[in-house]
Structure 1
Amino acid sequence: MSSDIKRKVVLITGAGSGIGRATAIKLHVLGAILAITDRDIFGTQETYRLCGGKPHYWGVLDVTNKDDISIRIAEIVSRFEHIDHVFNCAGINPTTYALTDTSDEYFDSLMNVNVKGVYNITKETILYMAKGVGSYVNVSSICGLRPKNGFAIYCATKYAIIGFSKSMALELGPMGIRTNVVAPGYIDTPTNAAVVEGQEAVKAMVDATSLGRMGTAEEVADVVVFLMSKEARYMNGSVVEIDGGIKLI
Protein backbone atom coordinates (compact mmCIF):
# COMPACT_ATOMS: atom_id res chain seq x y z
CA MET A 1 0.00 0.00 0.00
CA SER A 2 2.77 2.45 0.88
CA SER A 3 4.23 2.54 -2.62
CA ASP A 4 1.10 3.92 -4.27
CA ILE A 5 0.35 6.41 -1.46
CA LYS A 6 3.85 7.85 -1.42
CA ARG A 7 4.02 11.38 -2.89
CA LYS A 8 0.26 11.45 -3.48
CA VAL A 9 -1.37 14.78 -2.62
CA VAL A 10 -4.18 14.30 -0.10
CA LEU A 11 -6.57 17.00 1.10
CA ILE A 12 -8.07 16.32 4.52
CA THR A 13 -10.84 18.40 6.05
CA GLY A 14 -11.49 18.12 9.77
CA ALA A 15 -7.84 17.18 10.28
CA GLY A 16 -7.47 19.04 13.56
CA SER A 17 -8.43 16.10 15.77
CA GLY A 18 -9.85 12.59 15.95
CA ILE A 19 -10.21 10.56 12.76
CA GLY A 20 -8.93 13.37 10.55
CA ARG A 21 -5.73 13.72 12.56
CA ALA A 22 -5.17 9.96 12.80
CA THR A 23 -5.58 9.66 9.02
CA ALA A 24 -3.16 12.52 8.41
CA ILE A 25 -0.52 10.89 10.61
CA LYS A 26 -0.90 7.51 8.89
CA LEU A 27 -0.67 9.09 5.43
CA HIS A 28 2.41 11.05 6.52
CA VAL A 29 4.10 7.85 7.67
CA LEU A 30 3.34 6.31 4.27
CA GLY A 31 4.93 9.26 2.47
CA ALA A 32 1.89 11.18 1.23
CA ILE A 33 1.95 14.95 0.79
CA LEU A 34 -0.82 16.46 2.88
CA ALA A 35 -3.07 19.47 2.73
CA ILE A 36 -4.12 19.59 6.39
CA THR A 37 -7.20 21.71 7.05
CA ASP A 38 -9.67 22.36 9.84
CA ARG A 39 -11.58 25.37 11.13
CA ASP A 40 -9.68 25.04 14.44
CA ILE A 41 -6.35 26.82 13.90
CA PHE A 42 -4.69 25.26 16.94
CA GLY A 43 -5.78 21.72 16.07
CA THR A 44 -4.67 22.22 12.47
CA GLN A 45 -1.25 23.46 13.52
CA GLU A 46 -0.81 20.58 15.96
CA THR A 47 -1.64 17.99 13.29
CA TYR A 48 0.80 19.71 10.95
CA ARG A 49 3.47 19.52 13.68
CA LEU A 50 2.74 15.84 14.35
CA CYS A 51 3.16 15.18 10.63
CA GLY A 52 6.60 16.76 10.62
CA GLY A 53 5.78 20.12 9.06
CA LYS A 54 7.08 20.63 5.53
CA PRO A 55 6.54 19.56 2.77
CA HIS A 56 2.94 19.46 3.96
CA TYR A 57 0.49 22.37 3.77
CA TRP A 58 -1.78 23.54 6.54
CA GLY A 59 -4.59 26.06 6.49
CA VAL A 60 -7.68 27.07 8.41
CA LEU A 61 -10.75 25.99 6.44
CA ASP A 62 -14.44 26.31 7.20
CA VAL A 63 -16.26 23.91 4.86
CA THR A 64 -19.39 26.06 5.02
CA ASN A 65 -17.61 29.16 3.70
CA LYS A 66 -17.29 29.11 -0.10
CA ASP A 67 -14.87 32.05 -0.22
CA ASP A 68 -12.66 30.35 2.36
CA ILE A 69 -12.74 27.12 0.34
CA SER A 70 -11.85 28.86 -2.94
CA ILE A 71 -8.83 30.54 -1.35
CA ARG A 72 -7.53 27.36 0.29
CA ILE A 73 -8.01 25.14 -2.77
CA ALA A 74 -6.27 27.75 -4.94
CA GLU A 75 -3.33 27.76 -2.52
CA ILE A 76 -3.15 23.96 -2.48
CA VAL A 77 -3.28 23.65 -6.27
CA SER A 78 -0.76 26.45 -6.72
CA ARG A 79 1.64 24.60 -4.45
CA PHE A 80 1.07 20.99 -5.52
CA GLU A 81 -0.51 21.44 -9.00
CA HIS A 82 -3.20 18.82 -8.45
CA ILE A 83 -4.99 16.72 -5.80
CA ASP A 84 -4.92 12.92 -5.77
CA HIS A 85 -7.30 12.16 -2.91
CA VAL A 86 -9.80 14.04 -0.76
CA PHE A 87 -10.88 12.88 2.68
CA ASN A 88 -14.07 14.74 3.59
CA CYS A 89 -13.83 14.28 7.34
CA ALA A 90 -15.13 17.62 8.68
CA GLY A 91 -18.35 17.13 10.58
CA ILE A 92 -20.37 17.85 13.68
CA ASN A 93 -21.16 14.99 16.04
CA PRO A 94 -24.70 14.75 17.44
CA THR A 95 -26.29 15.91 20.62
CA THR A 96 -29.30 13.87 21.76
CA TYR A 97 -32.47 15.86 21.15
CA ALA A 98 -36.12 14.96 20.85
CA LEU A 99 -37.57 16.46 17.69
CA THR A 100 -39.69 18.78 19.81
CA ASP A 101 -36.50 20.15 21.38
CA THR A 102 -34.51 20.54 18.15
CA SER A 103 -33.78 24.13 17.18
CA ASP A 104 -33.55 25.51 13.67
CA GLU A 105 -29.99 26.57 14.49
CA TYR A 106 -29.00 22.99 15.36
CA PHE A 107 -30.63 21.65 12.20
CA ASP A 108 -28.93 24.24 9.99
CA SER A 109 -25.55 23.73 11.64
CA LEU A 110 -25.50 19.95 11.09
CA MET A 111 -26.83 20.19 7.55
CA ASN A 112 -24.42 22.95 6.55
CA VAL A 113 -21.32 21.18 7.85
CA ASN A 114 -22.11 17.48 7.46
CA VAL A 115 -23.83 17.64 4.07
CA LYS A 116 -23.27 20.95 2.34
CA GLY A 117 -19.65 21.01 3.49
CA VAL A 118 -18.96 17.78 1.59
CA TYR A 119 -20.76 19.20 -1.45
CA ASN A 120 -18.76 22.45 -1.26
CA ILE A 121 -15.39 20.70 -1.08
CA THR A 122 -16.29 18.20 -3.78
CA LYS A 123 -17.52 20.81 -6.22
CA GLU A 124 -14.43 22.97 -5.72
CA THR A 125 -11.91 20.14 -6.13
CA ILE A 126 -13.26 18.01 -9.00
CA LEU A 127 -11.40 19.89 -11.74
CA TYR A 128 -8.08 19.43 -9.91
CA MET A 129 -8.41 15.72 -9.15
CA ALA A 130 -5.97 13.26 -10.71
CA LYS A 131 -7.85 11.34 -13.39
CA GLY A 132 -7.54 7.57 -13.31
CA VAL A 133 -6.10 7.35 -9.81
CA GLY A 134 -7.95 9.96 -7.76
CA SER A 135 -10.54 9.26 -5.10
CA TYR A 136 -12.83 10.77 -2.53
CA VAL A 137 -13.50 9.17 0.84
CA ASN A 138 -16.49 10.64 2.66
CA VAL A 139 -17.50 10.09 6.28
CA SER A 140 -20.97 8.83 7.08
CA SER A 141 -21.78 6.80 10.20
CA ILE A 142 -23.63 3.73 11.35
CA CYS A 143 -26.35 6.36 11.90
CA GLY A 144 -26.43 6.68 8.12
CA LEU A 145 -27.39 3.01 7.86
CA ARG A 146 -29.76 2.53 10.76
CA PRO A 147 -31.79 5.03 12.79
CA LYS A 148 -31.04 6.07 16.36
CA ASN A 149 -33.53 7.56 18.78
CA GLY A 150 -32.80 11.23 19.53
CA PHE A 151 -30.43 11.57 16.57
CA ALA A 152 -32.95 12.37 13.83
CA ILE A 153 -31.08 15.32 12.32
CA TYR A 154 -27.67 13.68 12.56
CA CYS A 155 -29.06 10.51 10.97
CA ALA A 156 -30.55 12.61 8.17
CA THR A 157 -27.14 14.12 7.39
CA LYS A 158 -25.38 10.76 7.41
CA TYR A 159 -28.00 9.04 5.25
CA ALA A 160 -27.60 12.01 2.87
CA ILE A 161 -23.84 11.49 2.64
CA ILE A 162 -24.33 7.92 1.46
CA GLY A 163 -26.80 8.94 -1.23
CA PHE A 164 -24.64 11.85 -2.34
CA SER A 165 -21.51 9.69 -2.42
CA LYS A 166 -23.12 6.93 -4.47
CA SER A 167 -24.22 9.57 -6.98
CA MET A 168 -20.67 10.97 -6.98
CA ALA A 169 -19.41 7.48 -7.78
CA LEU A 170 -21.70 7.27 -10.82
CA GLU A 171 -20.85 10.74 -12.09
CA LEU A 172 -17.10 10.76 -11.47
CA GLY A 173 -16.39 7.10 -12.14
CA PRO A 174 -16.09 7.61 -15.94
CA MET A 175 -13.27 10.10 -15.17
CA GLY A 176 -11.42 7.41 -13.24
CA ILE A 177 -12.22 9.14 -9.94
CA ARG A 178 -13.62 6.82 -7.27
CA THR A 179 -15.87 7.75 -4.35
CA ASN A 180 -16.29 5.58 -1.26
CA VAL A 181 -17.72 6.00 2.22
CA VAL A 182 -16.65 4.98 5.70
CA ALA A 183 -19.40 4.47 8.28
CA PRO A 184 -17.77 4.44 11.71
CA GLY A 185 -19.53 3.08 14.75
CA TYR A 186 -18.63 3.95 18.33
CA ILE A 187 -15.19 5.55 18.02
CA ASP A 188 -13.31 6.90 21.03
CA THR A 189 -12.73 10.54 20.09
CA PRO A 190 -13.07 13.69 22.23
CA THR A 191 -16.22 14.78 20.36
CA ASN A 192 -18.04 11.43 20.50
CA ALA A 193 -21.47 12.02 22.02
CA ALA A 194 -20.99 9.29 24.65
CA VAL A 195 -17.55 10.54 25.64
CA VAL A 196 -19.04 14.01 26.11
CA GLU A 197 -21.95 12.61 28.16
CA GLY A 198 -19.76 10.56 30.51
CA GLN A 199 -18.86 7.04 31.60
CA GLU A 200 -22.42 5.69 31.77
CA ALA A 201 -23.00 6.57 28.12
CA VAL A 202 -19.61 5.12 27.15
CA LYS A 203 -20.48 1.86 28.92
CA ALA A 204 -23.75 1.64 26.99
CA MET A 205 -21.83 1.99 23.73
CA VAL A 206 -19.29 -0.64 24.75
CA ASP A 207 -22.06 -3.04 25.81
CA ALA A 208 -23.73 -2.60 22.42
CA THR A 209 -20.60 -3.65 20.52
CA SER A 210 -19.81 -7.33 20.06
CA LEU A 211 -16.06 -6.75 20.39
CA GLY A 212 -16.73 -5.21 23.79
CA ARG A 213 -14.91 -1.94 23.23
CA MET A 214 -15.03 1.32 21.35
CA GLY A 215 -12.98 1.69 18.20
CA THR A 216 -10.04 4.02 17.76
CA ALA A 217 -9.47 6.82 15.28
CA GLU A 218 -6.45 4.91 14.01
CA GLU A 219 -8.63 1.91 13.12
CA VAL A 220 -10.83 4.13 10.97
CA ALA A 221 -7.73 5.72 9.41
CA ASP A 222 -6.51 2.29 8.32
CA VAL A 223 -9.68 1.79 6.27
CA VAL A 224 -9.63 5.31 4.83
CA VAL A 225 -6.09 4.85 3.55
CA PHE A 226 -6.96 1.44 2.12
CA LEU A 227 -9.83 3.01 0.15
CA MET A 228 -7.38 5.51 -1.35
CA SER A 229 -4.92 2.80 -2.33
CA LYS A 230 -4.68 0.72 -5.51
CA GLU A 231 -5.79 -2.32 -3.50
CA ALA A 232 -9.27 -0.71 -3.54
CA ARG A 233 -9.09 0.25 -7.23
CA TYR A 234 -12.36 -1.52 -8.08
CA MET A 235 -14.26 -0.11 -5.10
CA ASN A 236 -16.52 2.75 -6.14
CA GLY A 237 -19.71 3.72 -4.33
CA SER A 238 -18.95 1.32 -1.48
CA VAL A 239 -19.95 1.93 2.14
CA VAL A 240 -17.57 0.32 4.63
CA GLU A 241 -18.88 -0.18 8.17
CA ILE A 242 -16.25 0.13 10.90
CA ASP A 243 -18.26 -0.66 13.99
CA GLY A 244 -16.76 -3.65 15.81
CA GLY A 245 -20.00 -5.57 15.31
CA ILE A 246 -22.87 -3.45 16.58
CA LYS A 247 -25.45 -5.70 18.22
CA LEU A 248 -28.87 -5.55 16.63
CA ILE A 249 -30.80 -4.98 19.85
Structure 2
Amino acid sequence: MTASLPFTNKIIIITGAGSGIGKATAIKLSTLGATLAITDITSSSLEKTLSLCTPPAFEKHEKHFTSVFDVGKTEPCNEFILNVVEKLGRVDHVFNCAGVNPTDLATAEITDEYWDKLINTNLKGLFNITRAAIPHMPSGSTFVNTSSIKGLGPGSGFAVYCASKYGIIGFSKSVALELGSKGIRTNIIAPGYIDTPTNASVVAGPESVARAAAMVSSGRLGTPEEVADVVVFLMSEESRYMNGSVVEIHGGMKL
Protein backbone atom coordinates (compact mmCIF):
# COMPACT_ATOMS: atom_id res chain seq x y z
CA MET A 1 0.00 0.00 0.00
CA THR A 2 1.33 3.43 -0.95
CA ALA A 3 1.66 5.83 1.97
CA SER A 4 -0.49 8.94 1.68
CA LEU A 5 1.14 12.31 1.20
CA PRO A 6 1.13 14.67 4.22
CA PHE A 7 -1.56 16.99 2.85
CA THR A 8 -3.77 14.42 1.16
CA ASN A 9 -7.46 15.37 1.55
CA LYS A 10 -6.54 18.79 2.96
CA ILE A 11 -8.33 21.80 1.48
CA ILE A 12 -5.95 24.76 1.32
CA ILE A 13 -6.70 28.35 0.30
CA ILE A 14 -3.89 30.50 -1.09
CA THR A 15 -4.43 34.15 -1.98
CA GLY A 16 -1.98 35.93 -4.26
CA ALA A 17 -1.20 32.59 -5.90
CA GLY A 18 -0.44 34.04 -9.31
CA SER A 19 3.22 34.80 -8.67
CA GLY A 20 6.11 34.77 -6.25
CA ILE A 21 5.65 33.20 -2.83
CA GLY A 22 1.99 32.31 -3.35
CA LYS A 23 2.77 30.53 -6.61
CA ALA A 24 5.70 28.60 -5.14
CA THR A 25 3.61 27.53 -2.15
CA ALA A 26 0.76 26.34 -4.35
CA ILE A 27 3.12 24.23 -6.45
CA LYS A 28 4.78 22.71 -3.37
CA LEU A 29 1.51 21.89 -1.63
CA SER A 30 0.15 20.28 -4.78
CA THR A 31 3.09 17.86 -4.75
CA LEU A 32 2.21 17.01 -1.14
CA GLY A 33 -1.31 15.95 -2.02
CA ALA A 34 -3.28 19.09 -1.15
CA THR A 35 -6.47 20.15 -2.86
CA LEU A 36 -6.09 23.85 -3.60
CA ALA A 37 -8.41 26.83 -3.78
CA ILE A 38 -6.16 29.51 -5.27
CA THR A 39 -6.92 33.14 -6.00
CA ASP A 40 -5.30 36.11 -7.65
CA ILE A 41 -6.38 39.38 -9.20
CA THR A 42 -4.85 38.41 -12.56
CA SER A 43 -6.43 35.48 -14.40
CA SER A 44 -3.48 34.70 -16.70
CA SER A 45 -1.09 34.43 -13.76
CA LEU A 46 -3.49 32.20 -11.86
CA GLU A 47 -3.91 29.87 -14.85
CA LYS A 48 -0.13 29.60 -15.12
CA THR A 49 0.12 28.57 -11.48
CA LEU A 50 -2.64 26.00 -11.94
CA SER A 51 -0.84 24.52 -14.93
CA LEU A 52 2.20 23.89 -12.71
CA CYS A 53 0.21 22.24 -9.91
CA THR A 54 0.03 18.52 -10.54
CA PRO A 55 -1.66 16.61 -7.73
CA PRO A 56 -0.12 13.12 -7.69
CA ALA A 57 -3.50 11.53 -6.95
CA PHE A 58 -5.15 12.95 -10.08
CA GLU A 59 -4.25 13.20 -13.75
CA LYS A 60 -6.22 16.42 -14.22
CA HIS A 61 -7.05 19.52 -12.18
CA GLU A 62 -10.70 18.82 -11.40
CA LYS A 63 -9.98 18.82 -7.67
CA HIS A 64 -8.46 22.31 -7.68
CA PHE A 65 -10.56 25.47 -7.58
CA THR A 66 -9.54 28.90 -8.89
CA SER A 67 -11.14 32.32 -8.60
CA VAL A 68 -10.11 35.77 -9.83
CA PHE A 69 -11.03 38.72 -7.62
CA ASP A 70 -9.72 41.58 -5.49
CA VAL A 71 -9.29 40.50 -1.85
CA GLY A 72 -9.67 44.12 -0.78
CA LYS A 73 -13.37 43.92 -1.58
CA THR A 74 -15.57 42.19 0.97
CA GLU A 75 -18.30 40.54 -1.08
CA PRO A 76 -16.03 38.67 -3.52
CA CYS A 77 -14.13 37.25 -0.53
CA ASN A 78 -17.34 36.06 1.11
CA GLU A 79 -18.55 34.51 -2.14
CA PHE A 80 -15.21 32.80 -2.70
CA ILE A 81 -15.22 31.12 0.71
CA LEU A 82 -18.81 29.95 0.26
CA ASN A 83 -17.94 28.55 -3.17
CA VAL A 84 -14.92 26.72 -1.76
CA VAL A 85 -17.03 25.14 0.97
CA GLU A 86 -19.76 24.23 -1.51
CA LYS A 87 -17.31 22.61 -3.96
CA LEU A 88 -14.70 21.19 -1.60
CA GLY A 89 -16.54 20.77 1.72
CA ARG A 90 -14.50 22.79 4.22
CA VAL A 91 -11.31 24.82 4.72
CA ASP A 92 -8.30 23.19 6.42
CA HIS A 93 -5.57 25.79 5.92
CA VAL A 94 -5.38 29.38 4.69
CA PHE A 95 -2.27 31.09 3.38
CA ASN A 96 -2.99 34.81 3.20
CA CYS A 97 -0.30 35.84 0.72
CA ALA A 98 -1.95 38.51 -1.46
CA GLY A 99 -0.19 41.83 -1.12
CA VAL A 100 1.10 44.97 -2.79
CA ASN A 101 4.76 45.89 -2.55
CA PRO A 102 5.63 49.48 -1.63
CA THR A 103 6.88 52.52 -3.48
CA ASP A 104 9.42 54.72 -1.69
CA LEU A 105 7.32 57.78 -0.87
CA ALA A 106 7.63 60.59 1.64
CA THR A 107 4.60 60.69 3.88
CA ALA A 108 3.57 64.12 2.61
CA GLU A 109 3.43 62.69 -0.92
CA ILE A 110 1.13 59.77 -0.09
CA THR A 111 -2.23 59.97 -1.84
CA ASP A 112 -5.51 58.57 -0.60
CA GLU A 113 -5.43 56.17 -3.56
CA TYR A 114 -2.01 54.81 -2.57
CA TRP A 115 -3.09 54.42 1.06
CA ASP A 116 -6.26 52.60 0.04
CA LYS A 117 -4.44 50.31 -2.39
CA LEU A 118 -1.92 49.05 0.17
CA ILE A 119 -4.18 48.94 3.21
CA ASN A 120 -7.11 47.38 1.37
CA THR A 121 -5.03 44.62 -0.22
CA ASN A 122 -2.43 43.92 2.45
CA LEU A 123 -4.53 44.29 5.60
CA LYS A 124 -8.24 44.45 4.80
CA GLY A 125 -7.91 41.64 2.25
CA LEU A 126 -6.32 39.39 4.84
CA PHE A 127 -9.10 40.29 7.28
CA ASN A 128 -11.81 39.64 4.68
CA ILE A 129 -10.58 36.13 3.92
CA THR A 130 -9.92 35.29 7.56
CA ARG A 131 -13.33 36.42 8.80
CA ALA A 132 -15.14 34.52 6.05
CA ALA A 133 -13.12 31.31 6.50
CA ILE A 134 -13.26 30.91 10.29
CA PRO A 135 -16.78 29.38 10.52
CA HIS A 136 -15.78 26.65 8.06
CA MET A 137 -12.51 25.56 9.68
CA PRO A 138 -12.30 22.47 11.92
CA SER A 139 -9.95 21.89 14.82
CA GLY A 140 -6.45 21.32 13.48
CA SER A 141 -6.76 24.06 10.87
CA THR A 142 -4.25 26.87 10.44
CA PHE A 143 -3.83 30.37 9.12
CA VAL A 144 -0.44 31.48 7.82
CA ASN A 145 -0.38 35.22 7.26
CA THR A 146 2.21 37.21 5.34
CA SER A 147 3.76 40.21 7.02
CA SER A 148 7.30 41.43 6.28
CA ILE A 149 10.48 42.51 7.96
CA LYS A 150 8.86 45.94 7.57
CA GLY A 151 6.23 44.69 9.98
CA LEU A 152 8.97 44.39 12.60
CA GLY A 153 10.92 47.58 12.01
CA PRO A 154 10.21 50.95 10.40
CA GLY A 155 11.48 52.16 7.06
CA SER A 156 11.84 55.73 5.88
CA GLY A 157 9.57 56.23 2.89
CA PHE A 158 7.51 53.13 3.66
CA ALA A 159 4.99 54.45 6.20
CA VAL A 160 1.90 52.95 4.58
CA TYR A 161 3.52 49.60 3.86
CA CYS A 162 4.80 49.41 7.43
CA ALA A 163 1.34 50.31 8.75
CA SER A 164 -0.19 47.43 6.80
CA LYS A 165 2.47 44.90 7.78
CA TYR A 166 2.60 45.93 11.46
CA GLY A 167 -1.20 45.66 11.40
CA ILE A 168 -1.04 42.11 10.08
CA ILE A 169 1.08 41.03 13.03
CA GLY A 170 -1.22 42.62 15.60
CA PHE A 171 -4.32 41.23 13.91
CA SER A 172 -2.84 37.75 13.55
CA LYS A 173 -1.65 37.50 17.13
CA SER A 174 -5.11 38.54 18.33
CA VAL A 175 -6.74 35.90 16.13
CA ALA A 176 -4.30 33.32 17.49
CA LEU A 177 -5.48 34.09 21.03
CA GLU A 178 -9.12 34.02 19.98
CA LEU A 179 -9.05 30.75 18.05
CA GLY A 180 -6.42 28.75 19.90
CA SER A 181 -8.97 27.12 22.22
CA LYS A 182 -10.82 25.91 19.12
CA GLY A 183 -7.73 24.13 17.84
CA ILE A 184 -7.09 26.66 15.07
CA ARG A 185 -3.56 28.05 14.94
CA THR A 186 -2.47 31.37 13.40
CA ASN A 187 1.14 32.18 12.59
CA ILE A 188 2.92 34.88 10.65
CA ILE A 189 5.83 34.91 8.24
CA ALA A 190 8.03 37.98 7.89
CA PRO A 191 10.08 37.66 4.69
CA GLY A 192 13.01 39.89 3.87
CA TYR A 193 14.43 40.40 0.39
CA ILE A 194 12.88 37.63 -1.72
CA ASP A 195 13.51 37.27 -5.46
CA THR A 196 9.96 37.74 -6.73
CA PRO A 197 8.77 39.61 -9.84
CA THR A 198 7.27 42.44 -7.78
CA ASN A 199 10.14 42.89 -5.31
CA ALA A 200 11.21 46.53 -5.50
CA SER A 201 14.89 45.64 -5.89
CA VAL A 202 14.17 43.15 -8.68
CA VAL A 203 11.99 45.68 -10.50
CA ALA A 204 14.72 48.33 -10.22
CA GLY A 205 17.34 46.10 -11.83
CA PRO A 206 20.63 44.28 -11.15
CA GLU A 207 22.37 47.11 -9.31
CA SER A 208 19.49 47.40 -6.87
CA VAL A 209 19.47 43.63 -6.36
CA ALA A 210 23.20 43.74 -5.62
CA ARG A 211 22.69 46.46 -3.00
CA ALA A 212 19.91 44.44 -1.38
CA ALA A 213 22.02 41.27 -1.38
CA ALA A 214 24.85 43.17 0.29
CA MET A 215 22.54 43.80 3.27
CA VAL A 216 22.05 40.06 3.79
CA SER A 217 24.69 37.99 5.56
CA SER A 218 23.87 35.06 3.28
CA GLY A 219 24.92 37.28 0.37
CA ARG A 220 21.82 36.81 -1.78
CA LEU A 221 18.09 37.28 -2.02
CA GLY A 222 15.89 34.43 -0.86
CA THR A 223 13.78 32.38 -3.24
CA PRO A 224 9.99 31.98 -3.15
CA GLU A 225 10.53 28.25 -2.71
CA GLU A 226 12.50 28.83 0.49
CA VAL A 227 9.60 30.82 1.92
CA ALA A 228 7.13 28.16 0.75
CA ASP A 229 9.01 25.56 2.80
CA VAL A 230 8.36 27.59 5.96
CA VAL A 231 4.69 28.10 5.10
CA VAL A 232 4.22 24.36 4.67
CA PHE A 233 5.94 23.72 7.99
CA LEU A 234 3.60 26.15 9.75
CA MET A 235 0.60 24.28 8.34
CA SER A 236 1.98 20.91 9.37
CA GLU A 237 1.75 18.89 12.58
CA GLU A 238 5.47 19.49 13.12
CA SER A 239 4.57 23.06 14.17
CA ARG A 240 1.60 22.03 16.31
CA TYR A 241 2.70 24.05 19.36
CA MET A 242 3.33 27.24 17.39
CA ASN A 243 0.52 29.76 17.62
CA GLY A 244 0.87 33.54 17.29
CA SER A 245 4.51 33.19 16.25
CA VAL A 246 6.30 35.50 13.82
CA VAL A 247 8.88 33.65 11.73
CA GLU A 248 11.53 35.84 10.13
CA ILE A 249 12.79 34.62 6.75
CA HIS A 250 15.57 36.93 5.62
CA GLY A 251 18.88 35.06 5.38
CA GLY A 252 20.47 37.04 8.18
CA MET A 253 19.47 40.50 7.07
CA LYS A 254 21.22 43.41 8.72
CA LEU A 255 18.19 45.10 10.25
Given the two structures, how large is their TM-score scaled by the length of structure 1?
Answer: 0.96
SS in 2 for 1:76: helix
Query: How many angstroms apart in 2 are the aligned matches of 1:146 and 1:159?
Result: 8
2:219 aligned partner, one-letter code: G
SS in 1 for 2:75: helix
Does 1:108 pair with 2:132?
Answer: no
Matched with 1:205 is 212
- 1:203: Cα distance to partner? 1.2
Matched with 1:149 is 156
Whether the 8 Å contact between 1:13 and 1:61 is mirrored in structure 2 is no
For structure 2, the 5+ residue unaligned runs are: 55-60
1:221 aligned partner, one-letter code: A
The 5-angstrom pairing of residues 110-189 of structure 1 reads 110-131=118-139, 133-189=140-196
SS in 1 for 2:72: coil
Stretch moving more, 66-75 or 122-131: 66-75
1:41 aligned partner, one-letter code: S
- 1:18: Cα distance to partner? 0.5
CA RMSD of aligned residues (A): 1.1
Does 1:41 pair with 2:43?
Answer: yes
Query: How many angstroms apart in 2 are the aligned matches of 1:78 and 1:7?
Result: 15
Matched with 1:58 is 66
Query: How many angstroms apart in 2 are the aligned matches of 1:23 and 1:134?
Result: 17
Whether the 8 Å contact between 1:138 and 1:179 is mirrored in structure 2 is yes
Given the two structures, how large is their TM-score scaled by the length of structure 2?
Answer: 0.94
Identity %: 57
Does 1:218 pair with 2:225?
Answer: yes
Query: How many angstroms apart in 2 are the aligned matches of 1:64 and 1:159?
Result: 17
For structure 1, the 5+ residue unaligned runs are: none
Query: How many angstroms apart in 2 are the aligned matches of 1:114 and 1:95?
Result: 14
- 1:3: Cα distance to partner? 4.2
Cα distance per residue 1:28-50 (max 9 Å; x no partner): 00001100111111111111111
- 1:6: Cα distance to partner? 2.0
2:180 aligned partner, one-letter code: G
Whether the 8 Å contact between 2:6 and 2:33 is mirrored in structure 1 is no
Match of 2:33 among 31, 34, 51: 31
Cα distance per residue 1:80-106 (max 9 Å; x no partner): 110000000000001111112211110
